[in-house]
């Protein structure tokens, strides 16, 4: 599958590694592909966001939340395209980490407003980046929820998540991104505040 990952931070780079290993053709879209900070990445994967997205079957947003709207605006017409949103609308204040939005609308739903006509799916947002290419190393297969409205296109996204080694779980409509984005905050709090460290994931375990 041809995948365009918009953004080449820790999430974008790790997803590129994981999907490349699974046999997918990955392009990383960044504003300046020749920037010094990208010299360690495969040159063949680096291009501009618009070029990466042009012939991609799936477009993955791995951008910082404040830059996401502008990033989408630079991708052209996304009607009918599959867009996977890995972002989280996190903010920080006097009481620590919080959600910029979330009670009445989620970041995923905002992405759907910006990417008019696209089939938007929220996933790969509630785990640390380092675990995204190493899901198969966990003793219990880690869970990764996928929320989105397009039932016809959702199986392709579930498969893509499964290709990373996760148990890909249908989390219902895109509005349920309001549930998944706070789950990211729980992961971060456990990892960074409660001393658990980053080498853990959420899983579904059935009794019996």
Calculate mean pLDDT across residues 152-175: 98
Q: In whole angstroms, what is the distance from residue 98 CA to residue 164 CA?
A: 28
Residue 149 has a pLDDT of 98
Residue 97 has a pLDDT of 81
Residue 93 has a pLDDT of 75
CB 140 within 8 A of CB 203: yes
Calculate mean pLDDT across residues 20-38: 95
- Compute CA distances 122 → 133, 180, 195, 207, whole Å: 18, 8, 27, 28
Query: Tens digits of per-residue pLDDT, 102-145?
Result: 889 999 999 999 999 999 999 999 999 999 989 999 999 999 99
Dihedral (CA of 118, 123, 126, 127) sign? negative
Closest CA to 18 of 7, 29, 30, 5: 5
Calculate mean pLDDT across residues 9-25: 96
Structural domains of the chain sorted by starting position, each given as residue range(s) with its CATH number in brackets: 2-193 (3.40.50.720)
Q: What share of the chain is helix, strand, coil (3-state, %, to 5)?
A: 35, 20, 45
> How high is the mean pLDDT of the chain?
95
Q: Name the least confident of 31-35, 123-127, 148-152, 172-176.
A: 31-35
Query: Tens digits of per-residue pLDDT, 57-100?
Result: 999 999 999 999 999 999 999 999 999 999 999 888 777 788 88
pTM for the structure as a whole: 0.95
Q: In whole angstroms, what is the distance from residue 24 CA to residue 43 CA?
A: 16
Closest CA to 114 of 55, 183, 53, 61: 61
Q: Which residue has the higher pLDDT, 100 or 26?
A: 26
Q: In whole angstroms, what is the distance from residue 91 CA to residue 6 CA?
A: 21
- Compute CA distances 70 → 20, 26, 82, 156, 170, whole Å: 27, 22, 18, 26, 29
Structure tokens at 160: 């893509």
Structure tokens at 46: 């680096």
Question: How many residues are present in the chain?
Answer: 208
Residue 198 has pLDDT above 90, yes or no: yes
């Amino acid at each position: 599958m041809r995948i365009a990952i918009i953004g080449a931070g820790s999430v974008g780079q790790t997803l590129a590694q994981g999907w490349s290993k699974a046999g997918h053709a990955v392009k990383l879209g960044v504003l300046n592909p020749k920037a010094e900070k990208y010299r360690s990445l495969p040159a063949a994967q680096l291009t501009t966001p618009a070029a990466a997205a042009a012939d991609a079957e799936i477009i993955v947003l791995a951008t910082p939340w404040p830059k996401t709207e502008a990033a989408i605006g630079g991708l052209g017409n996304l009607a009918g395209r599959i867009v996977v949103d890995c972002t989280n609308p996190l903010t920080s204040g006097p009481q620590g980490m919080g959600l910029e939005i979330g009670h009445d609308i989620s970041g995923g739903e905002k992405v759907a407003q910006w990417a008019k006509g696209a089939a938007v799916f929220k996933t790969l947002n509630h785990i640390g980046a380092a675990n995204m290419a190493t899901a198969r190393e966990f003793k219990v297969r880690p869970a990764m929820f996928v929320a989105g409205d397009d039932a016809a296109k959702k199986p392709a996204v579930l498969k893509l998540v499964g290709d990373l080694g996760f148990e890909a779980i249908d989390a219902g409509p895109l509005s349920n991104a309001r549930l998944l984005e706070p789950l990211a905050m729980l992961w971060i709090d456990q990892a960074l505040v409660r001393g658990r460290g980053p080498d853990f994931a959420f899983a579904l375990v059935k009794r019996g």
